Amino acid sequence: MDSAAAPIDFRTDPSRYKHWKLAFENGVAYLTMDVNEEGGLKPGYKLKLNSYDLGVDIELADAVQRLRFEHPEIGAVVIRSQRDRIFCSGANINMLGLSTHDHKVNFCKFTNETRLAIEDASTQSGQTYICSINGIAAGGGYELALACEQILLADDGSSAVSLPELPLLAVLPGTGGLTRLVDKRMVRRDHADFFCTTAEGLRGKRAREWRLVDQLIPPSKLVEQTQKIAEEVAAKSSRPKDAKGIALPTVERQIDGDTLRYANLTVEIDREGRSAKFRLNGPSSAPLADVHAAGAAFWPLALARDFDDAMMHLRLNETEIGTWVLTSQGDGALVEAYDDVLAKNADDWLVREIVLYWKRTLKRLDVSSRSLIALIEPGSCFTGTLLEVALAADRSYMLDGVFEGSNLPAATVRLTGMNFGPYPMGNGLTRLATRFLHDPSQVDELKGEIGEALDAAAAEEAGLVTFAPDDIDWEDEVRLAVEERAGFSPDGLIGMEANLRFPGPETMETKIFARLSAWQNWIFQRPNATGPEGALKLYGTGKQSKYDRKRA
């Protein structure tokens, strides 16, 4: 499967869903999986048994996002299946067998981010997810259940949960399954070992006793009991039950050759240099007093949606563009004004969702397998929320002074309160705390600089930028940095960047992505799995896989 041959579009809405149905009742949303077998994203496979490809997960991600913004009255979400005796059989094996390596890895990464968004909705937004399993939940199907806060299983002697990837396919669960088993559900190691090497999985009493599910319910009462449990959870939610949500219209995007244009963002692709230059545009006017009246046009939300879509487009459709150069343009004082609105209205449900969306968008940037270089030039507006983009970069360059012949004032950066807590990384720390892991007192000292416009010399001294060349050296230093990156091994860069970006505490989230970087780039390419006689290639043919038995 060549993802470049047919660009993948992440923009959708419920009217275009092929695989999911949404219904609402008594404060509960019912998200029902009913995968269209003929509705695969690419030709060559059928999505049988509620198996999924990236297209199915794009719809799921959209639904999770819309429920947070468009339905503040919803306090619980039930994920269930329309199919009799089958919940979800996981990622479609034929799709994986036909896919290029980069598509498989990006597919798994996106599904991970979607499941983390589900967990974020449960823990941060008061929109708790419950999974009701009426049959077989295998592989990615059970991993979807693991992302929910409660797992209900039909106690009928045949409904089961399983992670059969190792015995059947010679790979591992690709959506955080192993980590969620032992870190989230705290399944005993010996129990997890047996479970993950038993293709048929576990059902009934043992599944519950081993903490693989939370409740067993007779099949005749599954719908009724699921509804009762969900409504009880929804009644306890802190979400405003009488509030009105905001509509999320389709993100407007124009692709003109190698340029992507959004309302608040432009991306220019340099194919020869294998890089893409992002220009994030600051707000053009002061914020309205009423965030709800602004709706999806409220600048922080509008920019986050544009930025999120652009990253996903480049991840899946431009896999040879290995360096993202991050720039901004606008008035830093206006960015600060929007940050003030976010901070002062932090208790408002919509503002909370906007901040959480920026948190997830910045996390997506953190885990993107691209080299990130930030350029802070005259006319930039790297302030507060936008400064987080520069802090996420692998290195940053800030011009000391002005460009000859330009009337733009010297570049500055500005800290706001948004840099000190609302946007934690996957390691649970802010980007500043991660940056100054060696000396946390520096973070406290920087709080004294909130609201101050720091020029290049001050920003370099404060440790906020990597280099501050002057006009004479700027062009050469920036050019060499981008050209050098294009000359390194992409695989080596991915491994290096993933290791360096997340110092400090290890969390379930950092474990999931660290292990993804390792096992997918290793096991997914090993002959035992993907070779001509590998398990992934021969699955369903009746032929026996031939393994290289050496343990390296």
Q: At what angle do helices 101-124 and 508-515 cross, to 10 degrees?
A: 170
* Angle formed at CA 175 by CA 170 and CA 179, multiple of 5 degrees: 90
In contact, 524 and 165? CB cutoff 8 Å = no
Q: Do 323 and 485 meet the contact criterion of CB atoms below 8 Å apart?
A: yes
Tokens of 395: 């290195």
Burial, 525: exposed, middle or buried (Cβ in 10 Å; 0-12, 13-18, 19+)?
A: middle
Residue 272: CB atoms within 10 A of its CB come to: 7
- Quote the pLDDT of residue 1: 43
What is the spatial distance between Cα 268 and Cα 258, in angstroms, rounded to a whole number?
6
Please state the pTM of the whole predicted model: 0.96
User: In order of start, what are the domains of the chain with their CATH numbers?
Assistant: 14-235 (3.90.226.10), 254-489 (3.90.226.10)
Contact indicator for 161, 127 with CB cutoff of 8 Å: no
The H or E element spanning position 276 is: strand 275-281
3-state secondary structure 174-221: CCCHHHHHHHHCCCCHHHHHHHHCCCCCEEHHHHHHCCCCCEEECHHH
Could you give the CA distance from residue 412 to residue 468 in angstroms, rounded to a whole number? 11
What is the reported pLDDT for 90? Answer: 96
Mean pLDDT per 10-residue segment, the chain (552 residues): 69 97 98 97 95 98 98 98 96 90 91 97 98 97 98 97 93 89 97 97 98 98 98 97 97 97 98 97 95 97 98 97 98 98 97 98 96 98 98 98 93 98 97 97 97 98 98 97 95 88 92 77 80 85 88 76
Q: Which helix (H) or strand (E) holds 491?
A: helix 490-500
Please give the biggest Cα pair distance in the chain. 78
| Structural contact between residues 31 and 40, judged by C-beta atoms closer than 8 angstroms | no
- Exposed e or buried b per residue across 100-136, where buried means at least 16 C-beta atoms within 10 angstroms of its C-beta: eebbbbbbbbbbbbbbbbbbbbbeebbbbbbbbbbbb
Q: Tell me what pLDDT residue 255 has.
A: 96
Helix (H, G, I), strand (E, B) or coil at 133: strand
**Two structure tokens written together for 420:** 């000190």
pLDDT of residue 340: 98
Task: Supply the pLDDT for residue 2.
Answer: 47
Q: Are strands 86-88 and 128-133 parallel, antiparallel or unpaired?
A: unpaired
Amino acid at 397: Y
Region of residue 204 (left: phi > 0; alpha: psi -120 to 50; beta: else)? left
- For 254-322, where are the E strands, in sequence order? 254-256, 259-261, 265-270, 275-281
User: What was the pLDDT predicted at 495?
Assistant: 85
The answer to whether 419 touches 432, Cβ cutoff 8 Å, is: yes
- Both tokens of residue 408? 């733009």
Q: Which two tokens stand for residue 425?
A: 């990384």
Across the strands, what pairs with 278? 267, 326
Q: Which two tokens stand for residue 127?
A: 């929109």
pLDDT of residue 5: 63
User: In 10 A of CB 21, how many CB atoms?
Assistant: 14
Sign of the C-alpha dihedral computed for residues 134, 140, 142 and 146 taken in this order: negative
CA 292, 293, 297, 298 dihedral sign is negative
Give percent helix, percent strand, percent coil of the chain, each to the nearest 5: 45, 15, 40
Q: What are phi and psi of 396, to 5 degrees?
A: -135, 145
C-alpha span between 337 and 447 (Å, rounded): 17
Under 8 Å CB-to-CB from 550, ≥6 apart: which residues? Answer: none
